[in-house]
Amino acid sequence: MGERKRISILGATGSVGQSTLDLIERNRTAYEIVALTAYRDVEGLAKAAIAYGAKHAAIGDAERADALASALSETGITTAAGPEAICEAAAMEADWIMAAIVGCAGLKPVMAAVEQGSTVVLANKEPLVSAGDVVLAAAKIHGATILPADSEHNAIFQCFDFERPEGIRRIVLTASGGPFLDRSIEEMRAMTPDQAVAHPNWSMGAKISVDSATLMNKGLELIEADRLFPIAADRIEIIVHRQSVVHSMVEYADGSILAQLGPPDMRTPIAHTLAWPDRMETPMPSLDFAAISRLDFEEPDPVRFPALRLARQSLDRGGAKPAILNAANEEAVAAFLDKRIGFLDIAAIVEDMLDRYDPPAPGSLDDVFAIDTETRMRTRQMMTTKAA
Ligand code: NDP
Ligand code: MG
């Protein structure tokens, strides 16, 4: 048996974090858990840290420092709290780090993980959208390997010939279409957070579930794909595929199309990154093609799902636009989940922010954070003025 793989999970209490732990659970002796992190869920974090014998646990909310320390007292597991503690946990030496924090809150931790120079698995897509250039440049400098866990990007990664990208004609990103695919615009206007997070195929955290309902998730993924794969942006296309069986496709110059198929369960793409370049067993059953019986594809409706256009425009314009798109969306989604705005307001608010705020292109990580902070402030202000 080889050396145990040293693993850290940033966002261990979330949907992706738990799927990752589930895979580790099945072959415990192969892994050693270095650090686990969460934001507020002390109980979930402590439970996982004990169950998996983590060396260290960090909680993002500084006010929960004592709660975490007492939950892990006499276990020998070291603890820390606050945003800096998350970055310190990310910087601990490990062979494989899962970045599964939600939103741009994960950007600094992702950078810390990348600077540590091992394999960093990105489920957390928002840092790539807002600061793709900076993250990827740091990976090059520090010799880190970035592997995509997002199911579509993991699919593309498995099909993409990085040695001969000139032979690639296009990437086809598939979208499930989310829970409101067949709803009229009037019906969408009245949708509640509960309805928006009830995804037909995937079980995910609240933020990405809302993003799937607006299709902003696919918009963010378009930008994510542009960052990860050496291909022109206009060669990345989006198609709705309700069954979520084909996770994305790569078309070659000769007309051949390679697709990755699998169950709609994050454990498959995560397992791909966990074992890469080898393969590992997972509990997922083989696809039953007769039961699936058909694969449907359709164009996304640009009228009901304006988020796709906003993301495409942000990518084409470049500069600060992707960071503004992401930050305004994070704030609008939080407001929607909090029932302060309606479902259709999310994209409308993002569009307003993209039109009104036009700072110079960011040249550094600090610039990205400044744009992110300013966008959030302006978005919150705009939402309060509108609500008044
Ligand atoms: P969840 O909301 O389920 O989990 C988020 C995790 O991040 C939790 O552990 C949470 O801790 C922690 N966290 C939240 N905010 C902060 C913060 N400010 N500082 C530190 N930690 C924080 O999200 P998901 O697992 O669904 O998604 C994680 C990322 O992966 C997202 O970027 C998403 O877009 C992406 N992704 C998710 C997929 C899925 O199937 N869920 C599929 C593809 C991509 P706590 O529990 O304490 O709040
Ligand atoms: Mg995805």
Tell me if 272 is assigned to some domain.
Answer: no
Q: What is the span of the domain harbouring residue 180?
A: 153-264+285-387
For 307-355, the DSSP string reads HHHHHHHHHHH-TTHHHHHHHHHHHHHHHHHTTSS-TTHHHHHHHHHHH
My answer on whether 63 and 184 are in the same domain is: no
Tell me if 240 is assigned to some domain.
Answer: yes
Tell me if 277 is assigned to some domain.
Answer: no
Please work out whether the CB of residue 333 comes within 6 Å of at least one atom of ligand 1: no
CA-nearest of 373, 226, 374 to 312 is: 226
Contact call for residues 176 and 201 (beta carbons, < 8 A): yes
My answer on whether 169 and 313 are in the same domain is: yes
Tell me if 279 is assigned to some domain.
Answer: no
Give distance in angstroms: CA of 373 to centre of ligand 2. Answer: 25
Ramachandran sector of residue 4 (left: φ over 0; alpha: ψ -120 to 50; beta: rest): beta
Tell me if 229 is assigned to some domain.
Answer: yes
d(CA 40, CA 21): 18
Please work out whether the CB of residue 15 comes within 6 Å of at least one atom of ligand 1: yes
Give distance in angstroms: CA of 223 to centre of ligand 2. Answer: 12
Backbone angles phi, psi at 361, to 5 degrees: -60, 140
- Give the type of residue at 295: L
In the chain, % helix, strand, coil (3-state, to 5) comes to 50, 15, 35
Q: pTM to 2 decimals?
A: 0.98
My answer on whether 135 and 182 are in the same domain is: no
Tell me if 134 is assigned to some domain.
Answer: yes
My answer on whether 111 and 214 are in the same domain is: no
Give distance in angstroms: CA of 14 to centre of ligand 1. Answer: 5
Q: Per the structure, how many domains does the chain have?
A: 2
Contact call for residues 292 and 245 (beta carbons, < 8 A): yes
The tens-digit pLDDT sequence of the chain (388 residues) is 568 999 999 999 999 999 999 999 999 999 999 999 999 999 999 999 999 999 999 999 999 999 999 999 999 999 999 999 999 999 999 999 999 999 999 999 999 999 999 999 999 999 999 999 999 999 999 999 999 999 999 999 999 999 999 999 999 999 999 999 999 999 999 999 999 999 888 889 999 999 999 999 999 999 999 999 999 999 999 999 999 999 999 999 999 999 999 999 999 999 999 999 999 999 999 999 999 999 999 999 999 999 999 999 999 999 999 999 999 999 999 999 999 999 999 999 999 999 999 999 999 999 999 999 999 999 999 999 877 6
Tell me if 47 is assigned to some domain.
Answer: yes
Residues whose beta carbons lie less than 5 angstroms from ion ligand 2 = 150-152
Residue located nearest, by CA, to atom 40 of ligand 1 = 204
DSSP code, position 182: T
